[in-house]
Structure 1
Amino acid sequence: MRIWGKFFGFAIGFMFGRIIGGIIGLWLGHLYDKKRDELSAVIGKGSDRQSLFFNTTFAVMGHVAKASGQVTADDIRMASALMDQLQLKGQARRDAQDAFTQGKASDFDLTACLRTFRLISMGRRELLQMFLEIQIQTALSDAKLDAQEHAILSTIAKELGYSQAQLDELLKRWQGEFNFHRGGQNQQTSVEDAYKVLGVSDSDSDQQIKRAYRKLMNEHHPDKLVAKGLPAEMMELAKRKAQDIQRAYERVKQDRAMK
């Protein structure tokens, strides 16, 4: 049991409020020690950030896939394609499948799962956003979003510290990315969706577009994400995301004759 929080809390409280201040400081220190003990207990069970990110990702994917009432063929194909993309084999693939199945269970506690994940992630924004984007991809695997899927995504976003407006912006960007891939050589469609991928509009200045591009590349840099806790198996996702951002930026530059 930790006592340093209690000790320093009492000492500081006593300094400013004598006995009453010391008692208040002792109580606040107790809360601090308790929170640190809870965090240590979770980490002590072997749930480091990388393994927790991996397992939570596939568990919540299973829960999102079940949102419409049943897991569809598109959901299964998307999950399998993600496992293939990550080159998951043997035990790693079985772990992902087990987590996905766990998330489909009727008694799966989404809120508790997300709160543990956010706690272990230490509020690392880039890591949380990568996680949220994977769940958005799951919900939109059939190119549509029903009310129940949107409600679950809203819960996920809220528990990870994102507002509804921020979630809506991410949804718009991912939809643009989906269409950008599907558009292929259709130049008009590609440039419209390229703007969405970057989260900008054709009315923005060249400088605004450059800033948006640099910000996105910084947020999705594979090495940076791995250093913050992204499992090494999922680096391929970060690389693909960075490539999509780069392609979208090049398409916008071409359209605007930017240097």
Structure 2
Amino acid sequence: MFRLLGALAGFFLLGFWGIFLGYFIGSFIDRFRAFGPGGMNPFNAARRQSVFLETVFILMGKLAKADGRVSETEVSHVEQFMQKLRMTRDHRLKAITLFKQGASADYDIRPQLDVFLKTCGYSPNLRQMLLVYLIIMGLSDGHLNSAEEELLRDIAGRLGYHQAAFDQLLDMIMNQAHFAGGQSTSANALEDAYKALGVSKDSTDQEVKHAYRKLMSQYHPDKLMGQGVPEEMIAVATEQAKEVQTAYDLIKKNREQNRATA
């Protein structure tokens, strides 16, 4: 957007050559807005990615041990997660070390969350994606127990989420999971679809589309990578985006059918 405005302003102020100068300045502003503070600096980006990964695996360990024991299902989920990230042997060993560190009974997650907030906290997307990964981890065995949910609420609170906002995010992620694989087998598929987008059947078409576009933007690979989500972790966000797309398509098809028969 700003590159076009810059080119236009450059033309009126400086003539033909001003188009190029204005376009260049506008492009810089667009990239800064998309990536956030420090997004143009590759060293800052690398630091954000490192902190994001560290925080994810430490908190996964803490979440897995929340009920007093790490289950085989949770271990399997983490192993599949690392395979999906296509980690090298060294990175895999480091991730396992971080997971075990978080799972230790006396480990305090607050200092790590402080580091995360200082490095990545400026971006609502990064805070939300951290919670998304953790909620998916918590649901790996099919449900959240009370200890896991309490820990997630504590983490969400430290990330700046009010209880209602966390409840909505949790409900959305749980219902997005119903559309894994491109379809829902639930008898309440349409109701699940509305919950997956964070809207209701009483929402207008415009409200539904806005919610859909907002979620797709949050899961957009380029945007997430620019803000600090490691490229290897984009696969999880891509899966979430597919689930959102499936839910939206179901709502849209249902509304078109209702209008056709009205």
- Given the two structures, how large is their TM-score scaled by the length of structure 2? 0.76
Match of 2:92 in 1: 93
CA distance in 1, matches of 2:118, 2:175: 31
- Contact kept, 8 Å, 1:59 with 1:103, in 2: the verdict is yes
Structure-1 separation of matches of 2:169 and 2:137 = 13
Q: Distance in 1 between matches of 2:180 and 2:254?
A: 17
Equivalent pairs counted in the alignment come to 215
Partner in structure 1 of residue 197 of structure 2: 198
Cα offsets for 1:217-255 (capped at 9, x unmatched): 112211101100111111112222222211211121112
Query: 1:96 deviation in Å?
Result: 1.4
Query: Secondary structure at 2:65's aligned position in 1?
Result: helix
In structure 2, the residue matched to 1:102 is 101
* Letter of the 2:232 counterpart: E
Specify the alignment match of 1:18 in structure 2.
none
Distance 1:185 1:244 in 2: 9
Secondary structure of 1:257's aligned partner: helix
Higher relative contact order (CA 8 A, sep 6+): 2
Q: Which amino acid aligns with 2:47?
A: D
CA contact (8 A) 1:222 1:239 kept: yes
Q: Which residue of 2 aligns with 1:137?
A: 136
TM-score, length-scaled by structure 1: 0.77
When Rg is computed on C-alpha atoms for both structures, the one with the higher figure is 1
| Cα contact 1:102–1:108 (8 A) shared by 2 | yes
Asked if structure 2 preserves the Cα contact closer than 8 Å seen for 1:176 and 1:193, the reply is yes
Evaluate the alpha carbon distance shift between residue 147 and residue 185 of structure 1 in structure 2; reply closer, same or farther with a 3 A threshold: closer
3-state SS of paired residue (1:120): helix
Hey, what's the Cα distance between the residues in 2 that align with 1:90 and 1:233? 14
Q: Retained in 1: the 8 A contact 2:194–2:251? A: yes
Q: Provide structure 2 residue ranges, at least 5 long, that are not aligned to the other structure.
A: 1-42
Partner Cα distance (1:138, 1:187) in 2? 21
Identify the residue that residue 181 of structure 1 maps to in structure 2.
180
Which structure 1 segments of 5+ residues have no match? 1-43
Whole-angstrom distance in 1 between the partners of 2:62 and 2:146: 15
Compared with structure 1, are the counterparts of its residues 142 and 161 closer, same or farther at alpha carbon in structure 2 (3 Å cutoff)? same
Q: Which runs of 4+ in 1 moved over 6 A?
A: none
Question: In the TM superposition, what is the alpha-carbon distance from 1:55 to its structure 2 partner?
Answer: 1.2
The CA deviation at 1:60 is 0.4
Q: Does the C-alpha gap of structure 1 residues 242 and 186 become closer, same or farther in structure 2, counting only changes over 3 Å?
A: closer
CA contact (8 A) 2:178 2:184 kept: no
Equivalent residues of 1:183, 1:190 under 8 A apart? no
After superposition, where does 1:151-230 map in structure 2 within 5 Å?
151-181=150-180, 184=183, 186=185, 188-230=187-229
Contact 2:178 2:185 in 1 (8 A): no
1:16-41 deviation line (CA, Å, top 9, x unaligned): xxxxxxxxxxxxxxxxxxxxxxxxxx
State how far apart, in whole Å, the 2-side matches of 1:122 and 1:184 are. 34
Q: Is the 8 A contact 1:195 1:252 kept in 2?
A: yes
